[in-house]
Amino acid sequence: LAKTTQPISMDSYEGQEVNITCSHNNIATNDYITWYQQFPSQGPRFIIQGYKTKVTNEVASLFIPADRKSSTLSLPRVSLSDTAVYYCLVVSGSARQLTFGSGTQLTVLP
Amino acid sequence: DGGITQSPKYLFRKEGQNVTLSCEQNLNHDAMYWYRQDPGQGLRLIYYSQIVNDFQKGDIAEGYSVSREKKESFPLTVTSAQKNPTAFYLCASSPGRTANTEAFFGQGTRLTVV
C-alpha cells in the first residue's frame, strides 16, 4: 500500500486559495488518489478523486503530475467553514483497504 | 433515504465487559470498514470486509472482532482484551469493486470506558 505524507497543519485567511500537497512516492499503476474532509466528531466526507492530470468539481480541484508521486488539493476562496482536517488517500484497486494518514489540519482565519 | 447508520451515538462500558457497535447500510455496498480515532489523531483501520462472510484484519485488530453475515450489516465487538477502548469509532462502506469510488461514513460512536 502506498504511504502518504502531507503537512500536519496549515493556516489561511478567508477568501484565499489553499493548496495542500500530498506525496505518495510508491503509488501503483492501478491506484487512485482520493481526498476526504473531516469536521470534529463527524465521519469524513469525500471531496474529490483522480488518477492523473486535473480533476475539478464544485468544491475543489485536484492536480496530479505525470509521475503521480504527489497530488495537490486546491480549495478556491476558502471560508471559515472550511476549517477541518483534510486526508489524502491512495486507494488500491487490488487490496481495497482505505488507509488514512494523519491528515492536514486546515485553519481558516477571519 | 440511503445511507450508513451507526448506533448508538454514545456508549459507556465498564471495564472487563464486551460491547457491540452497530453499523448498517442500505447503499447495497459490498465493502465495509471499521476505524478507530483517538483525539487529535487520524483514522486507524480495525477491520474491513469486501464481501459477505469474509473480512480482513486492519492495522489494529487486536481486542476487536467483527462479523459479516449480511451485506448491509457489519457489527464491531470491542472485547475485554482491548486495553484502551475509549475512542471514537467510525464505520464506512463503499461499492468495493474498483478503486475509483468513494466511501461513505457513518456519524460515529463515541465509546467511553467507565
Q: Which residue of B has its CA nearest to A99?
A: B45
Confidence of residue B5 (pLDDT cuts 50, 70, 90): very high
Question: How far A50 CA lies from chain B's nearest CA (Å)?
Answer: 8
Q: Per-residue pLDDT for B2 more than 70? A: no
- A40 CB-near residues (< 8 Å, 6+ apart): none
C-alpha cell at A39: 469536521
Those residues of chain A that have pLDDT short of 70 are 1, 93-95
Q: Which residue has the higher pLDDT, B96 or B3?
A: B3
Amino acid A30: pLDDT: 86
Amino acid B114: pLDDT: 87
Q: Between chains, do A91 and B99 touch, taking CB under 8 Å as contact?
A: yes
What are the C-alpha distances in Å from B41 to residues A5, A28, A94, B5, B88? 15, 26, 27, 23, 10
Residues of A with CB below 8 A from B102's CB? 34, 46, 49
Q: Between chains, do B48 and A98 touch, taking CB under 8 Å as contact?
A: yes
Residues of B with CB below 8 A from A45's CB? 105
Q: Per-residue pLDDT for B112 more than 70? A: yes
Find residue B91's DSSP bridge partners. Answer: B34
Residues of A with CB below 8 A from B89's CB? none
Q: What is the pLDDT of residues B52-99, one digit of tens each?
A: 999 999 999 999 999 999 999 999 999 988 889 999 999 999 987 777
Residues of A with CB below 8 A from B42's CB? 85, 87, 100-103
Q: Which residue of A has its CA nearest to B102?
A: A46
Q: Which residue of B has its CA nearest to A88?
A: B42
CB atoms within 10 A of CB A28: 15
CA dist A68 and A23 (Å) reads 9
What mean pLDDT is predicted for residues B28-46? 94
Q: Give me Rg for the CA atoms of chain B.
A: 13
Q: Which residue of A has its CA nearest to B44?
A: A100
